[in-house]
Structure 1
Amino acid sequence: MNIAIISGSARPERQSHQVALEVQERLSKLGLSNWLWDIKTAAFPLLDYTFEEHPNPGDSLKTVKANLDQTDAFIIVSPEHNGSYPGALKNAMDYFYKPYVHKVFGIVAVSNGVLGGINAVKNLQHYVIKVNGLLSPEYLITPEVQNLFKEGKINDEKYAHRMDVFLDHFLKLAGALPAGK
């Protein structure tokens, strides 16, 4: 199984990216193949053509498409921006459609506030359904992210436990772990 972790913020000083890196590290420790689709470094232009219709897709689009074709499941790590998920995340994901169909999606939302990005979760759930992805009913909210990490590592055991539970449920649904484990 190959899992894409989508780091959904293109902003400088983004705190959600450290959450995406933590997810990736935990998947790697479990011996699971994964890759990080960093929306910021991919730096896609504003959508004019989808990948399938694009007359001349650039190298960045081609690289992501090749990775998506090898992806079995997705974990989106997104901050909440103005009551939803970032426009840069939607712009990047909208370039593609077929690679998402019938693949399991898990959602991790991140916020500096106490609600942990729950509005981003709600809107991403709608998006995943629209692209015919299979939505994991479990999600992970990350409230007050500025207090959960120190030097890039989780320093809050309760949040670390919640992340482990989320990943366990996601991996069972995606088929990476046996259901009885």
Structure 2
Amino acid sequence: MNIAIISGSARPERQSHQVALEVQQRVNKLGLSSWIWDIKESNFPLLDYTFGEHPNPGESLKQVKVQLDQTDAFIIVSPEHNGSYPGALKNAMDYFYKEYVHKVFGIVTVSNGVLGGINALKNLQHYVLKVNGIVSPEFVITPEVQTLFKDGILTDEKYGHRTDVFLKHFLELAGALSANK
């Protein structure tokens, strides 16, 4: 199984990216293949055409398209910006559609506050349904992310355990659905 981990922030001082890297590390420890779709590094222009309609898609769009075609399931790691997920994340994901259809999405949200990105979570669940994805009922909210890592290493064992439980359920669902294809 090949898992795309979408690192959903384009901000310079983003803390959610270290959560995405932690998720990838845990997925890889399970022996699965994964890749990070880093919204910041993709640096897509504002959406004018979807990939399928684009008269001249750039190289970064083409590279992501190839990787999406090889992806079996997705984990979105997103901060909460103004009560929702970042516009840069939506802009990048909106370039594609058929690549998401009937694939499982797990969601991990991040905030500096105590609510852990719960509003972003609700909005992302709705978005996934609109692109015909399948939302995993398991999710992870990440409150006070600034307290969880030291020098890029997770220091909160409880958060690590919650992430492992999320991944277990997410992968069971993704595995069951891919077995039926």
TM-score normalised by the shorter chain: which range applies?
A: over 0.9
Q: 2:150 matched to which residue of 1?
A: 150
Pair 1:166-2:166 in alignment? yes
Pair 1:92-2:89 in alignment? no
Partners of 2:173 and 2:131 in 1: CA distance: 18
Partners of 2:166 and 2:152 in 1: CA distance: 20
Aligned pairs, how many? 176
Deviation at 1:153, TM superposition (A): 1.1
Pair 1:105-2:133 in alignment? no
Using the size of structure 1 for normalisation, the TM-score is: 0.96
Superposed counterparts of 1:129-140, under 5 Å: 129-140=129-140
Partners of 1:160 and 1:69 in 2: CA distance: 30
Q: 1:50 matched to which residue of 2?
A: 50
Pair 1:121-2:137 in alignment? no
Q: 1:14 matched to which residue of 2?
A: 14
Q: 1:23 matched to which residue of 2?
A: 23
Deviation at 1:116, TM superposition (A): 0.2
3-state secondary structure, aligned to 2:163: helix
3-state secondary structure, aligned to 1:100: coil
Deviation at 1:107, TM superposition (A): 0.2
Partners of 2:36 and 2:78 in 1: CA distance: 13
Using the size of structure 2 for normalisation, the TM-score is: 0.96
Partners of 2:99 and 2:2 in 1: CA distance: 13
Q: Which amino acid aligns with 1:2?
A: N
Once the two structures are superposed, what CA deviation does each residue of 1:42-93 show, in whole Å capped at 9, x if it has no partner? 0000000000000000000000000000000000000000000000000000
Superposed counterparts of 1:41-80, under 5 Å: 41-80=41-80
3-state secondary structure, aligned to 2:138: strand
Partners of 1:124 and 1:153 in 2: CA distance: 27
Structure 1 runs of 4+ aligned residues shifted over 6 Å read: none
Q: Percent identity?
A: 83
Q: Which amino acid aligns with 1:107?
A: I
Once the two structures are superposed, what CA deviation does each residue of 1:97-135 show, in whole Å capped at 9, x if it has no partner? 000000000000000000000000000000000000011
Q: 1:179 matched to which residue of 2?
A: none
Once the two structures are superposed, what CA deviation does each residue of 1:3-60 show, in whole Å capped at 9, x if it has no partner? 0000000000100000000000111111101110000000000000000000000000
Partners of 1:159 and 1:134 in 2: CA distance: 24
In structure 1, list runs of 5 or more residues that go unmatched: 177-181
Q: Which amino acid aligns with 2:23?
A: V
In structure 2, list runs of 5 or more residues that go unmatched: 177-181
Q: Which amino acid aligns with 2:149?
A: F
3-state secondary structure, aligned to 2:161: helix
Output the aligned Cα RMSD.
0.7
